[in-house]
């Protein structure tokens, strides 16, 4: 087959460009409806770019086809032997080993894949923010999940557990928190002047359930009122949440003939009361006057908010 090689084809001789066997070159653009390969069994080659059997080959070491797999565009470096889902076949990327698509963006910009329809052009999305190195997943045109640069994933409406893919309100965990609090051993009525060697409190909140721990070591019991009461709770028990839990103590004097039975909390009040019981089973509160200057109190309690 003979070749014609030229450095430049000039279109200056015609306002319509230059036509070569049905292919028109005008304004540095190739204009044609069809490039025919009938002149050669190997197709048509243009500067190492070959067109044969409806495929463009030698395109960046890949084959670009509109007929091999799927109904749209097929980019192929090698045959994987796989088929394609007919519901997602407008763009197919194929290789015999690892395959992928790279989205390259500026260091302070975003790279994204977005889903749209006639009502919204970004009703769903996955995006990566290169400025903060965070990834976002969007559903119904709003961000629902953020994966922070340290790997922590934040869900803005909770996680449904134990119900498959259902969204059952009673199975949605939408709150978790850990923290510290400062327990105060005072009394009902007025109290003042308490001094502490230790005021240590921590808590864990999972959904509506709160578990508290605390340690109190006094150096001065101060001036107290009627009954020993623990203040400073990080959460207020729900109005329907009442209960009693054991506690450990040292140098807290109970009323004669009484024994400790626990710490009582009542819904709607952010305080916990120390309780005692006499031999007849009568329950009352521990008098604040029985707390010595170097008294100690240890407690774990769980309640609902």
Of 127, 149, 173, the residue at which a domain comes to its end is 173
> Is 29 contained in some domain?
no
pLDDT score recorded for residue 11: 47
Q: Is residue 231 a part of any domain in this protein?
A: yes
- Judge if 83 and 131 occupy the same domain: no
Rounded distance between C-alpha atoms, residue 127 and residue 145, angstroms: 11
Q: Is 208 inside a domain boundary? A: yes
Q: What's residue 263's pLDDT?
A: 79
**Which domain range does residue 120 map to?**
110-173
CA distance 88 to 134: 27
290 φ, ψ to 5°? Answer: -85, 0
The last residue of a domain, from among 173, 190, 210: 173
Question: What is the CB neighbour count within 10 angstroms for residue 287?
Answer: 20
Q: Are residues 186 and 288 in the same domain?
A: yes
C-alpha to C-alpha distance for 44 and 67, rounded to whole angstroms = 18
User: Which ranges of the chain have pLDDT less than 50?
Assistant: 1-2, 4, 6, 11, 35-39
Give the number of domains in the chain.
3
In a domain, 21, yes or no: no
Pair (199, 288) in one structural domain:
yes
Judge if 215 and 271 occupy the same domain.
yes
My answer on whether 118 and 219 are in the same domain is: no
Residues 143 and 254 occupy one common structural domain: no
Q: What is the pTM of this model?
A: 0.68
Residue 1 confidence (pLDDT)? 46
223 and 274 within one domain: yes
């Amino acid at each position: 087959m003979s070749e014609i090689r030229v450095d430049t084809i000039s279109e200056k001789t015609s306002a319509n460009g230059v036509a070569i066997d049905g292919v028109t070159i005008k304004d540095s653009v190739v204009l044609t409806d069809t490039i025919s390969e009938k002149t050669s069994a190997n197709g048509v080659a243009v500067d190492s770019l070959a067109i044969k059997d409806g495929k463009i080959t030698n395109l960046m070491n890949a084959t670009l086809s509109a007929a091999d797999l799927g109904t749209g565009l097929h980019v192929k470096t090698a045959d994987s032997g796989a088929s394609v889902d007919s519901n997602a076949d407008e763009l197919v990327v194929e290789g015999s080993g690892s395959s992928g698509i790279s989205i390259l963006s500026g260091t302070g910009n975003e790279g994204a894949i977005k889903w749209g329809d006639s009502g919204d052009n970004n009703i769903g999305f996955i995006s990566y923010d290169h400025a903060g190195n965070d990834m976002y997943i969007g559903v119904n045109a709003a961000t629902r999940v953020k994966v922070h640069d340290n790997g922590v994933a934040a869900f803005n409406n909770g996680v449904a557990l134990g119900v498959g893919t259902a969204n059952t309100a009673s199975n949605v965990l939408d709150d978790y928190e850990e923290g510290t609090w400062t327990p105060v051993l005072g009394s009902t009525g007025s109290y003042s002047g308490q001094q502490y060697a230790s005021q240590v409190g921590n808590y864990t909140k999972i959904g509506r359930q709160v578990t508290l721990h605390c340690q109190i070591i006094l150096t001065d019991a101060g001036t107290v009122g009627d009954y020993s009461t623990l203040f400073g709770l990080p959460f207020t028990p729900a109005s329907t949440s009442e209960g009693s839990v054991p506690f450990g103590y040292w140098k807290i004097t109970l009323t004669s003939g009484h024994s400790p039975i626990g710490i009582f909390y009542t819904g709607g009040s952010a305080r916990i009361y120390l309780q005692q019981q006499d031999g007849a089973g009568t329950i009352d509160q521990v008098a604040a006057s029985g707390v010595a200057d170097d008294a100690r109190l240890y407690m774990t309690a769980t309640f609902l908010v």
